[in-house]
Chain A
Amino acid sequence: MSAIDDYINAIMKKGVEEAREDGSAATEAHHLLLAIAAHEGTAAHRVLTEAGLGRQAIRDALDREFEHSLGAAGVSLSSFRLPPPSRDPDRRLKVGASAGLALERGFSACGGKKDLRPAHLLLGVLDTEIGTVPRALSLAGVRRVDLMARVRETLASETW
């Protein structure tokens, strides 16, 4: 198996873990972003880290986005005090629509699978103005287009 296959498998596996931790029924694009941020040794990881987007910072931004979106409907998360539910560690999760789109966009950001690198996957996750990821980045004060430009720069100058 090639290095990019190993990387994609690792990201999907970590994405599932992130989704489980969330109590989500599917792995979504923001879970892939968390996974990319947690996987060291790639240009994608470095770009995120340099932008102040370590795994925990992204988690915090996603939590803020959740609270902010609920707030738009007049709902406060702090109003609910039920205990956290038990999780099924063996639950099979689907690949959510947003993760599917992110992967498609990542694949189409490169010339062909032979050229696919981690930074392409990050581009795929970032390449939308709609949904949880761009909203969370905006709330964190990060300019998504600048981040994408930085990722593209690394693609031109770095091999992995």
Chain B
Amino acid sequence: MPAEDVPLPQDPADALAAVAALRRLADQLEDSAVEQAMRAGWSWPDVAEALGITRQAVHKKHAKRLIAAGVTLRRRH
């Protein structure tokens, strides 16, 4: 269904639950997409720029789990 066809939920509980679910989905997508990019050889600065956040923030959030998963991390692209 195209997004423009979806009316805003009338019930505030549904609208708020949609916000919570979208945040959760965004977090899941970020984890997957960052890992995919780093496995493909992207650098931290490039991933950070693509996400619109600082390099320090993306590194702090993802470096440990990617190192634990054995992903080879590059400093520069």
Contacts and interface: CB of A to CB of B under 8 A. Distances in A.
Q: Do A and B bind each other?
A: yes
Interface of A: 23-25, 65-66, 69-70, 72-75, 77, 80, 82-91, 130-132, 135
A92 to B, nearest CB: 11
Ranked nearest first, the 6 interchain pairs of A and B with the lowest CB-CB distance are: A74-B6, A86-B69, A88-B65, A85-B31, A69-B21, A82-B32
A48 B31 CA distance: 33
B53 interface: no
Interface string B43-75: 000000000000000000000111011010000
Interface of B: 1-3, 5-6, 9, 13-15, 17-22, 24-25, 27-29, 31-36, 64-66, 68-69, 71
Contacts, number: 75
Q: Is the interface of B mostly helix, strand, loop or mixed?
A: helix
A72 B17 contact: yes
A135 B17 contact: yes
23 contacts: A23-B27, A25-B27, A69-B20, A69-B21, A70-B22, A72-B9, A72-B14, A72-B17, A73-B19, A74-B2, A74-B6, A75-B21, A75-B25, A82-B36, A85-B31, A85-B34, A85-B35, A86-B66, A86-B68, A88-B64, A89-B68, A90-B68, A135-B13
A24 B21 CA distance: 12
A66 B5 CA distance: 20
Contacts of B36: 82-83
